[in-house]
Amino acid sequence: MSTIILGIESSCDDTSAAIIKDGYLLSNVVASQAVHESYGGVVPELASRAHQQNIVPVVNEAMKRANITKEELSAVAFTRGPGLMGSLLVGVSFAKGFARSLGIPMIDVNHLTGHVLANFIKVEGEESVHPKFPFLCLLVSGGNSQIILVKAYNDMEILGQTIDDAAGEAIDKCSKVMGLGYPGGPIIDRLARQGNPKAFTFSKPHIPGLDYSFSGLKTSFLYSLRDWMKDDPDFIEHHKEDLAASLENTVVEILMDKLRKAAKKYNIKEVAVAGGVSANTGLRNAFYDHAKRFGWQVYIPKFGYTTDNAAMIAITGYYKFLDNDFCPMEAPAYSRVTLE
Ligand code: KG4
């Protein structure tokens, strides 16, 4: 008998549902929320309201595209945290009601585990290679910057993480300082392709071990701009491509320096990336460059599986289903929870 998992993701500002059948992705529907753009960041109250409007049509569409009826489902996997509480509650409550009405088990998924296991999403007819255990995963998103040692689907250890801002958060904040739109990541990426990554230098953190820090870079960017704008009030407009390229280059160098250190320390050459910032062109190029220079096997999920999506929740749910790892009906959502 087939194992068919419905995955539900609602941790921030994307409502998503996906179907995985026997490890293969059949559908992945994502409804993003444009409502936040004019506020320059996610407004939690608006996010949970939009999730409420989106969740039923998104789940229906995922089942329709997968050509699956609800009676065929084996389990419902849902993001339990971390995330915005009001957003999480919509997905968690929907999953509970749906699973109970069908009499099928529920599987709680850590959003961060989902990002890591996005590297294992398979689509019938598409060639895909997946990391071999143990591997390192650089998880970089709007809320996290972590180096993770992945020993098995259900066994992960955080080797290092940001002590302040996340990489995506720093990029978004710098982009806001430049007066660009939200989220800044994709805009900085686009501008950076036309700029010189060595045009400007920003300060890099000096912290021991495998931890990251990005708040100093943000401050350095802000103060540098303030100084340059004293001489040229239109400095940003005149240099936006070079500013974007130099900012991106600094973030990528900070990320890769520690990742190289981890790869050396743990003698691992299987290296994956996950999270929204892994969509970044400069970071992807740095991975390919490291593959050539250091003989790494690198794994970069398809673009659509790097930002928040339910395919990653469904694949994680699938592996947990195989382990009979279910959760009770009273399981609450967690706004804060670590990978371990
Ligand atoms: O994983 P994600 O969708 O959401 C969570 O934070 O969980 O990541 C969102 C982050 C944002 O900071 C966004 O600006 C960044 O990923 N991002 C990018 C790119 N696309 C998205 N950063 C740099 N370059 C991109 N192309």
CA of 140 to the centre of ligand 1 (A): 8
In whole angstroms, what is the distance from residue 16 CA to residue 265 CA?
Answer: 38
Top-level CATH class of 4-121+305-322?
alpha beta
Write out the two tokens for 145.
Answer: 């910057």
Q: Which of 9, 109, 277, 284 to mutate to test the pocket of ligand 1 (most atoms within 8 A of CB)?
A: 277
- Among 37, 113, 115, 171, say which to mutate for ligand 1: greatest number of ligand atoms within 8 Å of CB: 171
Ligand 1 center–CA 308 separation, angstroms: 9
| Ligand 1, CB within 6 Å, residue ranges | 12, 141-143, 168, 171-172, 183-186, 189, 275-277, 279-280, 307-308
Write the residue with the smallest CA distance to atom 11 of ligand 1. Answer: 142
Interval 80-114: pLDDT, tens: 999 999 999 999 999 999 999 999 999 999 999 99
* Closest to 221 in 3D by CA, of 244, 187, 198: 244
Question: Which 8-state DSSP code applies to residue 107?
Answer: E
pLDDT at residue 338, rounded to an integer = 84
Q: How far is CA 279 from CA 82, 90, 306, in A?
A: 21, 27, 6
Residues 6+ away with beta carbon under 8 Å from 230: none
Q: Which atom of ligand 1 is nearest to the CA of 111?
A: 7
Q: What is the mean pLDDT of each run of 10 residues along the chain (340 residues)?
A: 97 96 98 83 91 97 98 98 96 98 98 97 94 98 94 98 96 95 93 98 95 96 97 97 98 98 98 96 98 98 92 98 97 88
- Domain 135-300 = CATH 3.40.50.720: no
On the 0-12 / 13-18 / 19+ scale of CB atoms within 10 A, 213 is: middle
In the chain, ranges of CATH 3.30.420.40 domains: 4-121+305-322, 135-300
Q: Name the strand (E) or helix (H) holding 136.
A: strand 135-140
Prediction pTM value: 0.95
Distance, CA 172 to ligand 1 centroid (Å)? 8
Distance (Å, whole) CA 49 – CA 231? 46
Among 307, 312, 337, say which to mutate for ligand 1: greatest number of ligand atoms within 8 Å of CB: 307
DSSP string, 179-228: T--SSHHHHHHHHHTTS-TTS--------STT-B--HHHHHHHHHHHHHH
